[in-house]
Amino acid sequence: MTLFNLALKNIRRNVKSYGLYIGSTIFSIIIFFTFATLKHSGDISGLAETSKQISGIMSASAFVLIIFVAIFILYSNSFFMRKRKKEVALYALMGVRKQKTAFLLFFENMVIGIVSLIVGVVLGFFLSQLLLSLLLKLMGLNIEIGLAFSPNAVVETIIVFLIIFLFTSLQGYRVIYRFKLIDLFHASKKGEELPKARIISVILGLATLVTAYWLALQDLTSEVWKILGISMPIVIIALTVLGTYLIFNSVLVYVLHMLKKRKFWAWKGLNLMTASQLLYRIRGNAKTLTIIATLSATTITAGGAVFGLYYDTEKNVEQTTPFSFMWEGQEEDIDDSIVKESIRVDTKSIRINSEQMEREYTVIDHSAFEKLAEALEWDIDSLNITEDEVAMIEPFYNEQWTEDVKEISFNNVDHEVVQIYEESIFNLSTVPGTVIVVHDEAYIDLNAEESTYQAVNVENYKEHLDLSQELEAKSSTVDFSSAVQDYQDSLEGTGIMLFVGSFLGLVFLVATGSIIFFKMMTEAEDDKDKYSILYKIGVSKKEIKRTIRYQVGLIFIAPLILGLLHGTVALIAFSSLFQMDLLVPIIIWMSAYVLIYISYYFITIRGFHKTILYKIQEGN
């Protein structure tokens, strides 16, 4: 029998134990290939005008994805190799040369790789079609997309994964050459001392994290920013990661130690066992947990920000384009049944020289203001202004940046500014800048050029893209602006961001979940005997399941809580920087994240139970 046959047979007979590894490899390939297809899809790059920007985002994302996929495969591969060490040892015991075993494993790994590549590319092709139509839906476009098969994507996927497989195969070589037969006989039997935490690193861990949070929440104008300058984000991230590590490595260990010392808690049921197991588990996995917490934080922050922007699209559009349509010129024929309001506004434009700057204002009279405010359903008290008073409508008002204007003089009279509104009363792309409201008499007296605008509000403005385009095409509508068009434009921009963001978020989430899953399954494998002992001395399956739930639960929940905490702080900083209210979208995003994460917990619990309870039954 040739080596080739042996390797093939080996795979065919062990499909079950290989399943996890092959599954995760195929999964990685699907994800990557889908992404590569989208990246190379002509439809996508042709869709938005900012295709350069988008292809930039896509390339950067692909890079992140490659790193991630590589880590993920390495992880599952090392899990897989651990399982096979016994087999390798057996070969060695029977006198098979290392070279031969190594070649067998290398060969086998390459076969698995090539098979997964084929399956992954085929499945990925279909998945990419699904995602493409999803993306188009998110971007609010109704375009038929044909099945675009991208050879570039295939080549890219094959190259990336062949390199990864080559690397994992070489890893296999390393395992075999470093393997000593004696390890087989007392592998992992060596006891380890119970991990202990020094109080100093406990305090240090808490302090680091608090400092990082405090820094993150500082205003851009604060002292710290001046001192640290551009290195600030790096300092924050470094402190956060360090703090996270210390939390796992020391703080949690310390807390568990304290718990274990309290006989009233510890000497009850399996608490003693749970605490001891967790101590080893958390200390041994501190690095992995740190990575997971950091990844979760990144995913939550990036996803939250992008989702926040997307969620804000409608609000943004309604802020800058409050009327469905607006243009300069005469009234147009629009179907009466859909029109809610159609207002004709006369405005005058004045230039005023204040101390250093020349300012331009659009002036409307009080009655026009009332009409507009009513049409926009502004929730304000009725405005009373006398002839020498004005109200100012400043959509970009900002306490910090906007210069306070107390008086405006025209008609040779100083007018006091009695009221400031911070919303826009016109579509900004038709009538930009600051608007002032004057007394009807003062408006008539004002000696300036007058222009006439039409402001129209229609029912369900998002459904009238056709009408918008029809109106825009007419030569009689000058400076035409429409809410639906603006909405469409911003959707296209943020839609891609949202898609890339949530896609990467999903990948990260799946990867973090899988890393924990693999870790826990490895440990379940190691812990089998312990649970079998417990069962024999009379611990019920119910209680065994409970301690497993607690142990796996803490391993899952600890990095999740830290990730959520980091993400919350980062998003608070983000939203105050961009002055957005992101509360609702972030809560939606975080809940989605937590939900998927929790389902991973249940999958892991199930796997753990299966491994342990199978052993218990076998142990008969």
Partner 1 sequence: MESLLQVKNVEKVFGKGANTFKALEDISFTIDHGEFVGIMGPSGAGKSTLLHVLATIDTPSKGDIYIENDNIAKMKGDQLADFRRDHLGFIFQDYNLLDSLTVRENIVLPLAIAKLPPKEIDVKVNSMAKAFGIETILDKYPYQISGGQKQRTASCRALVSNPKLIFADEPTGALDSKSATDLLKALSSLNEDQDATIMMVTHDAFAASFCRRILFISDGRLSREMIRATHSRKEFYQMILDELAQLGGDGHDTV
Site for partner 1, rule CB under 8 A: 189-191, 193-194, 263-264, 266-273, 276-277, 279-280, 529-530, 533-543, 619-620
In the complex, minimum distance from the CB of residue 278 to partner 1, in angstroms, rounded to a whole number: 10
Over the range 254-276, which residues count as b (16 or more CB within 10 Å of their CB) and which as e?
bebeebbeeeeebeeebbbbbbb
> Measured from the CB atom, is 82 or 530 closer to partner 1?
530
Sign of CA dihedral 469, 470, 474, 478: negative
In the complex, minimum distance from the CB of residue 193 to partner 1, in angstroms, rounded to a whole number: 7
In the complex, minimum distance from the CB of residue 286 to partner 1, in angstroms, rounded to a whole number: 17
In the complex, minimum distance from the CB of residue 269 to partner 1, in angstroms, rounded to a whole number: 6
> Measured from the CB atom, is 126 or 265 closer to partner 1?
265
In the complex, minimum distance from the CB of residue 533 to partner 1, in angstroms, rounded to a whole number: 4
How far apart (Å, rounded) are the C-alpha atoms in residues 285 and 292?
10
In the complex, minimum distance from the CB of residue 178 to partner 1, in angstroms, rounded to a whole number: 24
Lookup: tokens for 379: 């929730």
In the complex, minimum distance from the CB of residue 293 to partner 1, in angstroms, rounded to a whole number: 25
> Measured from the CB atom, is 85 or 530 closer to partner 1?
530
In the complex, minimum distance from the CB of residue 195 to partner 1, in angstroms, rounded to a whole number: 11
Sign of CA dihedral 596, 600, 603, 605: negative
In the complex, minimum distance from the CB of residue 259 to partner 1, in angstroms, rounded to a whole number: 13
How far apart (Å, rounded) are the C-alpha atoms in residues 216 and 235?
10
> Measured from the CB atom, is 558 or 613 closer to partner 1?
613
Of 186, 192, 189, which is closest to residue 89 (Cα–Cα)? 186
> Measured from the CB atom, is 486 or 527 closer to partner 1?
527
Q: Determine phi and psi for 414, rounding to 5 degrees.
A: -80, 125
Hey, which bits of 216-366 come out as E strands? 325-328, 339-353, 358-365
> Measured from the CB atom, is 183 or 416 closer to partner 1?
183
Of 290, 287, 292, 276, which is closest to residue 196 (Cα–Cα)? 276
> Measured from the CB atom, is 447 or 620 closer to partner 1?
620
> Measured from the CB atom, is 284 or 329 closer to partner 1?
284
In the complex, minimum distance from the CB of residue 608 to partner 1, in angstroms, rounded to a whole number: 17
Sheet holding 339-353, edge to edge: 407-410, 413-421, 389-393, 435-438, 358-365, 339-353, 450-458, 325-328, 478-482
Q: Are 419 and 384 in contact (CB under 8 A)?
A: no
In the complex, minimum distance from the CB of residue 207 to partner 1, in angstroms, rounded to a whole number: 31
- Max intra-chain CA distance, the chain: 108
Three-class DSSP category at 351: strand
In the complex, minimum distance from the CB of residue 539 to partner 1, in angstroms, rounded to a whole number: 6
In the complex, minimum distance from the CB of residue 264 to partner 1, in angstroms, rounded to a whole number: 6
Q: Are 66 and 160 in contact (CB under 8 A)?
A: yes
Burial status of residue 333 (CB atoms within 10 A of its CB: 0-12, 13-18, 19 or more): exposed
Q: How far is CA 596 from CA 149, 301, 318, 508, 600, in A?
A: 31, 16, 33, 12, 7
> Measured from the CB atom, is 410 or 531 closer to partner 1?
531
In the complex, minimum distance from the CB of residue 307 to partner 1, in angstroms, rounded to a whole number: 43
Tokens 């604060």, residue located? 222
Question: In Å, how far from its chain's centre is CA 241?
Answer: 18
Lookup: tokens for 614: 């199978």
SS3 content of the chain, % helix, strand, coil (to 5): 70, 10, 20
> Measured from the CB atom, is 371 or 530 closer to partner 1?
530
> Measured from the CB atom, is 178 or 268 closer to partner 1?
268
Hey, which bits of 366-459 come out as E strands? 389-393, 407-410, 413-421, 435-438, 450-458
Lookup: tokens for 494: 């943020």
Three-class DSSP category at 421: strand
> Measured from the CB atom, is 267 or 396 closer to partner 1?
267
How far apart (Å, rounded) are the C-alpha atoms in residues 282 and 550?
13
Q: How far is CA 8 from CA 114, 162, 167, in A?
A: 13, 19, 20
- The dihedral region occupied by 229, where left means phi > 0, alpha psi between -120 and 50, and beta the remainder, is left
> Measured from the CB atom, is 63 or 267 closer to partner 1?
267
